[in-house]
Structure 1
């Protein structure tokens, strides 16, 4: 496979927090290539660098040292305009759902399309309803977040990340607030997107229930990759 088959690549990636005497290294010599359409899971103890790595790969932090190539573009020294353009091609799922409390479930999801600036309202509504339906929320389209459970809010946030057909999904504990069946449904949806559309997913998780569905498991400890296991998925 050529480089185009690996939408995420990193070589000799290092990262520090703080300055001067308070400076602390968070990542050490990270080398990885993520295959298109795959589901890669990052595991390891809290503080091992998983979320730091995820945010660097998603243009949410600036690369300080090393090479990161995202969707064919190098991130070290990237302009703010390039970083913004690349983020629009990604889907982000965070631990906090970050829903707008004054908007319905469908309206929150529509924002995931409308920020792209190329879809009219009717198409955005149809896309939002479709993805929410896939996540078992067809009966909750018009509900405000205050009237949804924690798990339902998280599924709305997941739908918002997926509705724009992103090339890459970066997920930080996406199933933590979900019951077993809902969590499995989310992972199966991400797997189907990978198979049908080539959507690539990188997921931070402590949820051992979903590891069997991963194509690859990367283990981080103290800012280093200490394990790299290919799975059947």
Structure 2
């Protein structure tokens, strides 16, 4: 039973603290964060700007080094982990950001293929097939060869979502992914992530100020001044 429970915990953070700067300019950004994320769950991080949401997201996503406390990601301790181990873990994650960060000279398929390539070597044929499946998943099967300049804002963000999902990641970390989207496009993105949680066990941790999507979360964590001040379970 203990092993089953541990496998279901994608993230476990205990006593997590983080600082920026050094000397007199050193400032603490996170204070004694305790957090558990279960496999397949959809968790939203809320809070004012500067509260530590993105810092927490990047620590869990192996984009910053853990300084103090413990963070276990898919059973691997991040505090003190080697760069090779962190890189291997990042390849098992999907990242979505507010800015879609698409290459304007590449087609939708080619942009998504980049998400395949960062996860290891694969043939061009298999990469294209995986990209086409991911774009179909986000409703863009008829836009495979379109470049970003010929896509709407919502379609560009869907390409970015497909790029994050193409490797079937164990976890998706999203930073304000719906901020630039209209209501329907935002709902489509969130509903897709929810469906992946139910069908594939994909865990989502999403930073947002978007009140339109809160009712779709399983749990809402509120950060203020680097501390989790409220946890709300959404029925």
TM-score bin (small chain): over 0.9
| Alignment pair present for 1:183 and 2:186 | yes
Instruction: For residue 168 of structure 2, give the secondary structure of its aligned residue in structure 1.
Output: coil
User: Higher mean Cα deviation, 219-228 or 123-132?
Assistant: 123-132
* 2:123 counterpart residue number: 120
CA distance in 2, matches of 1:121, 1:192: 28
* 1:89 counterpart residue number: 92
CA distance in 2, matches of 1:119, 1:192: 27
- Superposition pairs for residues 8-23 of structure 1, below 5 Å? 8-23=11-26
In the TM superposition, residue 143 of structure 1 has moved relative to its aligned partner by 1.4
* Partner deviation per Cα, 1:175-214 (whole Å, 9 max, x = no partner): 1121111111111111111111110000001111111110
CA distance in 1, matches of 2:209, 2:96: 15
Instruction: For residue 15 of structure 2, give the secondary structure of its aligned residue in structure 1.
Output: strand
Deviant stretches of 4+, over 3 Å: none
Find the partner of 1:219 among 214, 217, 222.
Answer: 222
CA distance in 2, matches of 1:177, 1:124: 29
CA distance in 2, matches of 1:58, 1:115: 15
CA distance in 2, matches of 1:192, 1:167: 14
* Partner deviation per Cα, 1:104-139 (whole Å, 9 max, x = no partner): 111101111122225322232222222222323222
| Alignment pair present for 1:100 and 2:103 | yes
CA distance in 2, matches of 1:2, 1:93: 28
- Superposition pairs for residues 142-221 of structure 1, below 5 Å? 142-221=145-224
CA distance in 1, matches of 2:125, 2:196: 23
Instruction: For residue 51 of structure 1, give the secondary structure of its aligned residue in structure 2.
Output: helix
CA distance in 1, matches of 2:224, 2:35: 15
Unaligned runs of 5+ in 1: none
CA distance in 2, matches of 1:72, 1:93: 23
Instruction: For residue 33 of structure 2, give the secondary structure of its aligned residue in structure 1.
Output: strand
Find the partner of 1:140 among 140, 143, 146.
Answer: 143
Scaled by the length of structure 1, the TM-score of the pair is: 0.96
Find the partner of 1:229 among 215, 229, 232.
Answer: 232
CA distance in 1, matches of 2:101, 2:37: 27
Question: How many residue pairs are counted as aligned between the two chains?
Answer: 232
Cα-Cα RMSD: 1.2
CA distance in 2, matches of 1:182, 1:127: 23
| Alignment pair present for 1:68 and 2:74 | no
